[in-house]
Amino acid sequence: MARHRPARGLRRGQPGVRTAPADPAVPAHPGAGVTTVLVLGGSGFIGGHVRAALRPHAALVCPGRRDVDLVACDVDELGALLRAARPDAVVACTGRLDGRADELVAANVSVTAKLVEAVAAGAPGARLVRIGSAGEYGPVPHGHAAAESDDARPVSEYGLTHLTATRLVELAAAAGRVDGVTLRVFNPIGPGLSADTVLGRVATLLRRATPGGRITVGPLSAHRDFVDVRDVAAAVAAAVRAPWLPQRVYNVASGRAVPVREAVRLMAEAAGFTGAVREDQPPPGRSAAVDWMCGDISRAARDLGWTPSYELAESVKASWAAMGA
């Protein structure tokens, strides 16, 4: 598989994970010696691939919603789950993409707050790896690759709730209560693509269309940084197994922005669709205010030894093929 070009600031041959602890107040992490990982949200798009990436390295505990409803449960219930599992790491592939503000707060902020408290009390030596979102950044200047040190100015309730959750993990880590980290995932694509994403919606339309027909979508001129979900899972595995983490937020992206129109063209090509794509629908509210998004991945390359492996065309083809079309 061909690799992406390195993002700005990323050089081939940069050193991988360091081995000296950044904060002696945080409990020691076993690094590559991780034996048990608790995966929350393991049945979702990202979670399923995270399970596949971690399975060769550790025993997995993957409770479903019947076992624990993260929104409805309290800290004591989560703590009991953690004490029973005795994990070396907890991976939270949880959260909500849309809905009312109170629903987003409950799923993205409150769940994270409960997880921080439960890990601190029930599994104090476990690393908490949380899936965040590029939506935390808000508008980014055209041509700029967003870095973790940039000011975050989310323009949606979704982005704001994810940013709040990220801050909660950062505060707990700074206080030495939890060895926590957030991976800010950009636009994930690949096998099992969610229908809630722009390419997922396009794929659904293409499945229903005749080869020479017409589909109608929203504006496609925005630039997005699409990252393969299998690369996301590899980044999670790297964060789980790193001996220590000098930072508490890492971008997980391809490092390259492309017009959404180009990604849709690739999807249509994979589907054998030769008809018209009309951009007559209104843009989705969650991302309408952001016309450019690209992630600087040099921090993840330096500290986690991670860079993406899949090209966009590869990921789009895999997304379409996995739909069984």
- Residue pair 62/7 in contact by the 8 Å Cβ criterion: no
158 is catalytic: yes
pLDDT of residue 287: 63
What is the spatial distance between Cα 221 and Cα 208, in angstroms, rounded to a whole number?
A: 24
Residue 197 pLDDT > 80 = yes
Phi-psi category of residue 10: left, alpha or beta, with phi > 0 → left and psi -120 to 50 → alpha = beta
| pLDDT confidence bin for 8, thresholds 50/70/90 | very low
| Confidence band, pLDDT 50/70/90 cuts, at residue 153 | very high
| Percentage of residues of the chain with pLDDT beyond 90 | 82
Note the pLDDT of residue 34. 79
Sign of CA dihedral 82, 83, 84, 88: positive
Span 53-81, mean pLDDT? 94
Evaluate if residue 3 carries a pLDDT over 70: no
> For position 273, what pLDDT does the model report?
96
- In sequence order, what are the residues at sequence separation of 6 or more whose Cβ sits closer than 8 angstroms to the Cβ of residue 103? 96
Residue 281 and residue 317: Cα distance in Å, rounded? 25
Determine the Cα–Cα distance for residues 224 and 290; give it in Å rounded to an integer: 9
Topology classification of domain 33-322: Rossmann fold (3.40.50)
Q: What is the mean pLDDT of residues 302-306?
A: 98
E strand spans, 172-299: 179-185, 187-189, 214-216, 223-224, 226-228, 249-252, 258-259, 276-278
190, 203 Cβ separation under 8 angstroms = no
CA nearest neighbour of 49 among 260, 217, 192, 179:
192
Task: Report residue 268 as tokens.
Answer: 């249509």
Q: Which pLDDT belongs to residue 33?
A: 77
Residue tagged active-site, from 137, 158, 250, 310: 158
Number of separate helices (H) and strands (E) present in the chain: 10, 12
Query: Phi and psi for 31 in degrees, rounded to 5?
Result: 60, -130
Residue with tokens 């034996």: 35
How large is the angle between the packed helices 260-271 and 198-208, nearest 10 degrees? 30
